Amino acid sequence: MSRPSPSLKSRCAPLLLCALLAACAAPMSTDVSEADEPEESSHVPVPPVVLDGTAWQATNHIEGLVPGTHWEHQVYASRRPTRYSATEHEGRPAVMARADGANSTLSLPLTPPPGALPQRIRFSWFVPALNPKFDLREKGEDDAVVRLILSFEGDRSSHWRARDHLVSELSNLIAGKPLPFASIMYVWDNRYPAGTVIPNPYTDRIRQIVVESGPDRLNQWVDFDRDIEADFRRAFGEAPGPLVGLGLMSDSNNSGDSITAWYGPMDLTLSPARP
């Protein structure tokens, strides 16, 4: 495949950057400087994130891991990264996320057993405040205080449009990995009611599902138990394929504001492998 021209990269950069967020659970190089402001990317400090051996890591129950895999801190071009740290908050192990006009992702690649499909995921969030500026439907406003991202494989030959293949090829060229087939993002939103499914404003290969809305349960741990297959069917109208990655992301790069949230441990279960 011939290398895209600089002008093509320039036109596709905003779409690529957001599409890379869909790949947040797939391991890839953090050097995407060719897609966005290369002169600044080398000056972005990447805060260290140590999760191995922490209480949060030990209390996660996640099936289908390749032995030796670790949570990775993915940064995006010259964006200021969110700061993630393992801690304890209000009685339970947690990862604290603080974004000061920032965005980056904690990602974990998964290799499920052949034939096994995702079944349920249990997780918890502690959110002290929401931001009325955020709007998941609008380009340039689609920040979120908390997101849990699930990435899936699937049949790219029959479900993807030409633009999806182009973005995936650019991602593979620039970042070293193609995009996942599809991703769903669980979010706590300030304006749309729980149960709303919102296509990502840049690519319909990402669907955002509002699992909590409004301020009623701020400043407390809120537990969620989601049926992954039902959520994927609601978002995409079909059954999910293999779950290949998880991601945590708190971001405020569009608004430039400061946000803080805590992520509790997760419990992921898979259905029995199908023959």
One-character DSSP codes across 30-53: S--TTTS-HHHHTT--------TT
- Tell me whether residue 91 is in a domain: yes
List beta partners, residue 125. 222, 263
The percent of the chain in helix, strand and coil, each rounded to the nearest 5, is 20, 30, 50
User: What range does the domain containing 41 cover?
Assistant: 6-270
- Tell me whether residue 197 is in a domain: yes
Q: Quote the pTM value.
A: 0.81
Task: Quote the crossing angle between the two packed helices 162-175 and 6-22, to the nearest 10°.
Answer: 90
Per-residue pLDDT of the chain (275 residues; tens, 9 = 90+): 444 444 434 333 333 444 444 333 333 333 322 233 333 333 456 677 889 889 999 899 988 776 667 898 988 777 889 999 999 999 999 999 999 988 899 999 998 888 888 999 999 999 999 988 888 787 766 788 999 999 998 887 777 777 777 777 776 675 556 778 899 999 999 999 999 998 887 777 889 999 999 999 999 999 999 999 999 999 999 999 999 999 999 988 878 889 999 999 999 998 876 65
- Tell me whether residue 180 is in a domain: yes
What is the number of structural domains in the chain? 1
- Tell me whether residue 275 is in a domain: no
- Tell me whether residue 1 is in a domain: no
- Tell me whether residue 140 is in a domain: yes
